[in-house]
Structure formats: structure tokens, C-alpha cells
Amino acid sequence: MSISPAPTTTTQTSLTSGHLFLLPLSPNQANHNITRVTQPKTIPFYGSLSTLLNHRLHDFSIQLAENTDGDVTSITNTLRSFLSQSLTDCSTPKESCCFEVRMTTPDPAYVTPRWHYDGPMFDADDKDPHTGRPRSIRAKYATVLLGPATRFLDVPHTSELASCLKYDEDDMLQRQAVDKYLASYPGAERVHAQPGQIARFAWGQELGGVHSEPDMSGSDRVFVSVLFGSEREIRDLAENPRYGRNGVYEA
């Protein structure tokens, strides 16, 4: 089974930083019927895009339905819609992917934002030998099926901002100080993707899309993301102890 191309009439919103775009999903996004998480769980996939679409996506839908109150058919339609829109937008290698679903129950860990940006997540095929970063702008696509969306900071990128974001993200006092500082940072605007939107944010650059987990203290959440790449790149990601969750590439 293949995925149908996404409609070409959709529009996207680019924010001033140039590192975050908000893409509309098709109407299927609203029909997944999930209202609560019954059991927290994270389901990762690293492998061939064709394997995900033809064999594994239904497994994801079953596990989502088993751990929420959604139904398999509606969830499958929603996940296909998300992947279709993301694939249509992506202009970098996409024969393989890292696809992940996170189901969580209320958690106070991110009442204070953990502002950060994602550095190089794998050894890119087109990396600059001097910086180790990909020459092309790589992106991650994300949406929520339930609960609050990822927080983003639409902000001009400067050396001052880069210095500010070099801190211990696990230190709550430092997180509070950074959040307070960014609240009055010139030109900074806090942005939440809305229901029915996909957030596309850059990673691997000197400063990618600045973002944080949302405040999840009062809500269940189902978060879906995908990152595309070549087979070699996604194999590298799967084996990365920082980002890879199971080290297994499914061909």
C-alpha cells in the first residue's frame, strides 16, 4: 500500500526566524477520536519509508488504540494524512525515516519551558567537513493528536541567543532564568502550533528552531513526529545513543 500525494493547494505559514513553518493538515486530522491516554507509551520506528507505510503503520495504529480510547481505522487515516503532508513538503532525502509516537499522561516536568534547539541528529550525507553540520536545512515534522502542542520561540538568531541557550537544561533554576530572559528578548514571540497544524522546524544548523515541550501538567498528550533521511543517515540515527531508542533499522 502506498501513500497518496498530499493536496498541493495547502499553504504554509513561515515565521520570521525562518526556522519554523506551520503546515495545515487535511481534514482527516480531526477524525482520530482520541480523548484520553489509558497507558503511557513511546513507539519508535527507524527504517525504510516503504516498510513503514506498507507494513508497520497499521501496527502503530493498533498500539495507539490499545493505549488510548481511539479506534484503529481513524488513527490510521490520521497518521497517513500526517505523513502525506510531511512527505510532500520535504525536499531532502526521504527514502528512510525516524517515525515516533509518544503517549503521555499529565506530567509537571515542563511547566517551565526547556528552551533549546536540536543539533546534528545524524552524520548527514551532505555535511560540511569543517562544522559537521548538514549543508542543506534539515527538518523535523511534528503534530499532536491530543493535548498541547510543542512551544516555539520565533526569534531572530544572534550570537547572543546562541550563548543564552548553552545551559544545563536539567537544572530547573537555569531553565527558569533562561525562560525569564527570553520573555523580554528583543523580537521574540512565543508560538504554539494549533490543532490541525504540522510544525516543521529546522535542526542541525548553528541555531535551528528554538522550541520546548509544552506544559503537560494538566493534560494527556499524543505527540507524533517524523524525520526523513537516506538509509545510511537513519541507520546512523538509530545507532546514536543520544537520539536512537532501539538501535534497530527496519529495511
Q: 129: domain CATH number?
A: 2.60.120
Please check the confidence at residue 7 and state whether its pLDDT lies above 60: no
How does residue 230 score in pLDDT terms, banded at 50, 70 and 90? very high
55 vs 26, higher pLDDT: 55
Residue 54 lies inside a defined structural domain of this protein:
yes
Is the pLDDT at 1 greater than 60? The verdict is no
pLDDT at 29: 53
pLDDT digits over 181-194, tens only?
Answer: 999 999 899 988 87
Task: Give the whole-angstrom CA distance, residue 80 versus residue 171.
Answer: 38
100 within domain boundaries = yes
Q: How confident is the model at residue 26 (pLDDT cuts 50, 70, 90)?
A: low
The verdict on residue 9 lying in a domain is no
pLDDT in tens, 88-138: 999 889 999 999 999 999 999 999 999 998 877 887 888 788 877 777 778
In terms of residue numbers, what domain contains 41?
A: 17-239
Q: Using CA atoms, how far apart are residues 146 and 126, in angstroms rounded to an integer?
A: 36
Spatial separation of the C-alpha atoms in residues 87 and 102, rounded to whole Å: 20
Residue 142: exposed, middle, or buried by beta-carbon count in 10 A (0-12, 13-18, 19+)?
A: buried
Q: Which residues pair with 229 in a beta bridge?
A: 96
User: DSSP secondary structure string, 24-93?
Assistant: EPPGGGGGS----BSS-EEEEEEEEHHHIIIIIHHHHHHHHHHHBS--HHHHHHHHHHHHHHHHHH--S-
In this structure, is residue 5 part of a structural domain? Answer: no
| pLDDT > 90 fraction of the chain, expressed in percent and rounded | 59
| Domain-located, residue 244 | no
Residue 4 has pLDDT above 50, yes or no: no
Report the domain count for the chain. 1
- Is 103 contained in some domain? yes
Q: Is residue 47 part of a domain?
A: yes
Does residue 10 belong to any structural domain of this protein?
no
